[in-house]
């Protein structure tokens, strides 16, 4: 097996047994990024000097006979809306093009403590707003399995980098499917932890009640390793919690299949791939049970009211004065705001700000935002009732395979439908994982595994069987 194809576990074993050095491994990945990423555009910033210095520290520890952690010396990438101290953090936007992070996000601090090697910051839809990876101010990311197709968004660069073997693993952030959808389209494993399981401190906020940082990896085992490293309570994030996840027993594991997730408009071949995985886990000893999540049909509408509302509030700071791009010809104070935001922010970001500002405005707050929050509670109750009967819910990740670049970019509503199977998980704050299930027309299809809050191990166990 070539060095770039190794998993986290294989890298760890190779370093400990001195089959290769961390420096050798890091140089291999940096060379691959230089040669192949021009086509894919998965990285915005490559941190070669930082990576090499981190790799050397790991080699020094090994040469001194000291024990190293599972992530030590492992080359990885970080979505460019997560802060790495003294490294540019753009959030994929012109407005933060020259912003240098003043501190490390908590997840980055933990990754550094583990000795992981940071190769760079990955491309994303601007401020994480998008389902395709086409909305970045630095150009679209392309799917490494078919360069004419999208990798999915918004953690497009992270998923593409792992899929293309130019990073062993990556960190992404998931607000409505932004880890799971690109993982599905690129044929890798993407995990969104329970809301509060991983600190959001140092993540540039999009929608604060929905955002969650998580790993994109090649295997379930790797996902567990990264999740254990980055999870836990953080005093800098009041929504984070300390927790213990129970060990599951697969013979007693009950898998729920929600009838609402198998739509008429869903690609028939995608449906067959998902059904084959259901049959596989049945044969492994799990009990399969049809369930109902009756408010699923309102999930997308609810999400696209709550999310833009929170976007509108979080984006207010990027006004050219406090943060972000300042127009070169601003004129009076009002035009400082208007021109700076118009020139510094892309179409999708401005669209969501306007939607959110409208739904929060006087006279419409009760009709839209307040009502959406009530429906959100009903969606959470649907899941709570379902988890009284089953341990894990299995669904598709997307109704389609990766679509072509430009195919949906002129039709926002069609684009938003890409999130139809993923947004309810964020609204309910649940853990969910996208796992490669098979292929249609030589392109990957993902299945989604969902469980109760802080029952990540149920997902990992079911995922290992399907893997």
Look at the alpha carbons of 259, 262, 263, 268 in this order and tell me if their dihedral is positive or negative.
Answer: negative
Residue 387: asked if its preceding bond is cis (omega within 30°), the reply is no
- With CA atoms as reference, report the closest residue to 95 among 248, 277, 322, 335: 322
Which residue is it, tokens 């494993």? Answer: 189
CB 314 within 8 Å of CB 200: no
Question: How far is 330 from 165, CA to CA, in rounded Å?
Answer: 45
> Considering 178, 231, 312, 340, which one is annotated as catalytic?
178
> Considering 154, 155, 312, 398, which one is annotated as catalytic?
154
Q: What is the DSSP string of 240-290?
A: -----PPPP-GGG-EEEEEGGGS-TTS-HHHHHHHHHHHHHHHHTTPEEEE
Instruction: Return the structure tokens found at 13.
Output: 């074993």
**Is 457 exposed, middle or buried (CB count within 10 Å of its CB: 0-12, 13-18, 19+)?**
middle
**H or E segment and range at residue 309:** helix 299-314
Q: What is the distance between the terminal CA atoms of the chain, rounded to a whole angstrom?
A: 19
CB 22 within 8 Å of CB 56: yes
Question: How far is 455 from 462, CA to CA, in rounded Å?
Answer: 12
- With CA atoms as reference, report the closest residue to 448 among 393, 387, 390, 380: 393
Any catalytic annotation for residue 79? Answer: yes
Any catalytic annotation for residue 418? Answer: no
> Considering 79, 218, 224, 277, which one is annotated as catalytic?
79
Any catalytic annotation for residue 93? Answer: no
Backbone angles phi, psi at 280, to 5 degrees: -65, -45
Instruction: Return the structure tokens found at 207.
Output: 């929608």
Question: How far is 16 from 19, CA to CA, in rounded Å?
Answer: 8
CB 432 within 8 Å of CB 454: no
CA dist 339 → 117, 229, 446 (Å) = 40, 43, 42
Instruction: Give the catalytic positions in this structure.
Output: 79, 154, 178
């Amino acid at each position: 097996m070539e060095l770039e194809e190794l998993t986290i576990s294989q890298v760890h074993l190779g370093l400990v047994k001195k089959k290769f050095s961390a420096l050798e491994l890091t140089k291999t990945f940096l060379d691959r990024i230089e040669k192949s990423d021009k086509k894919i555009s998965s990285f915005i910033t490559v941190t070669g000097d930082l990576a090499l210095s981190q790799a050397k520290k790991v080699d020094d520890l090994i040469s001194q006979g000291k024990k190293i952690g599972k992530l030590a010396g492992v080359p990885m990438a970080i979505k460019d809306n997560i802060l790495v101290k003294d490294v540019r953090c753009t959030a994929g936007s012109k407005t933060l093009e020259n912003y240098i992070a003043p501190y490390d996000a908590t997840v980055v601090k933990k990754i550094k403590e583990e000795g992981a090697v940071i190769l760079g910051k990955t491309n994303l839809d601007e401020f994480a707003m998008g389902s395709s990876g086409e909305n970045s101010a630095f150009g679209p990311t392309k799917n490494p399995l078919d360069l004419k197709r999208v990798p999915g968004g918004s953690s497009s660069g992270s998923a593409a980098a792992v899929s293309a073997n130019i990073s062993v693993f990556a960190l992404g952030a998931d607000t409505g499917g932004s880890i799971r959808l690109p993982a599905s389209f690129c044929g890798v494993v993407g995990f969104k932890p329970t809301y509060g399981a991983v600190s959001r401190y140092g993540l540039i906020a999009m929608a604060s009640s929905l955002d969650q940082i998580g790993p994109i990896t090649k295997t379930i085992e790797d996902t567990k390793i990264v999740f254990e490293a980055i999870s836990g309570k953080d005093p800098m994030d009041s929504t984070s919690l300390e927790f213990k996840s129970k060990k599951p027993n697969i013979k007693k594991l009950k898998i729920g299949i929600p009838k609402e997730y198998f739509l008429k408009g869903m690609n028939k071949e995608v449906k067959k791939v998902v059904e084959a995985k259901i049959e596989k886990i049945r044969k492994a000893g799990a009990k399969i049970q049809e369930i109902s999540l009756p408010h699923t049909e309102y999930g997308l509408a609810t999400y696209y009211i709550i999310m833009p509302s929170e976007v509108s509030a979080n984006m207010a700071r990027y006004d050219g004065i406090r943060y972000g791009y300042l127009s070169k010809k601003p004129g009076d104070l009002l035009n400082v705001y208007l021109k700076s935001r118009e020139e510094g922010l892309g179409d999708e970001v401005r669209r969501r700000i306007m939607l959110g500002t409208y739904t929060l405005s006087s006279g419409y707050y009760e009709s839209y935002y307040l009502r959406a929050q009530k429906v959100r509670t009903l969606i959470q109750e649907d899941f709570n009732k379902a988890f009284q009967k089953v341990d894990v819910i299995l669904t598709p990740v997307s109704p389609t395979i990766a679509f072509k670049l430009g195919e949906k970019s002129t039709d926002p509503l069609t684009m938003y439908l890409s999130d139809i199977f993923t947004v309810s998980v964020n609204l309910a704050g649940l853990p969910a994982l996208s796992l490669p299930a098979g292929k249609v027309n030589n392109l990957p299809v993902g299945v989604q595994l969902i469980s109760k809050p802080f029952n990540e191990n149920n997902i990992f166990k079911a995922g290992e069987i399907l893997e």
